[in-house]
Amino acid sequence: MAVFETQKSRINSDMLSRYISRPICFVGRVEKVNPTGKSFSLSDGEGKSASVEVLGMVSNKGTIMASAYNILKKKIGPRLNLVDH
């Protein structure tokens, strides 16, 4: 299933296990970047402002295999409350 050609559900970390092998959108905060630059850790923020949107598929291990990500600009529009989405 191609991530860009299908409808994606916006999920949080509690929902990962329900979306295995399905395309998703995860909006959150970057917590740590691997020194190789090939991976990074995200949190769903729990009320904090978001910093990145990731499009990808959820693996069998409950991790997101990113196809693309967008860095969200600060101070543009209203604050996105991650708890309500």
Report pLDDT for 85: 47
The β-bridge partners of 80 are none
Full-model pTM: 0.75
Q: Domain 9-73's class?
A: mainly beta
pLDDT tens-digit series, residues 24-68 = 999 888 888 899 988 888 888 666 667 889 999 999 999 999 999
CB-based contact 51:31 (threshold 8 Å): no
Backbone dihedral angles phi then psi of residue 47, each to the nearest 5 degrees: 95, -10
- What pLDDT is attached to residue 16? 92
CA distance 26 to 50: 10
pLDDT at position 1 is: 55
pLDDT of amino acid 79: 57
Closest CA to 22 of 8, 39, 40: 8
| β-bridge partners, 30 | 42
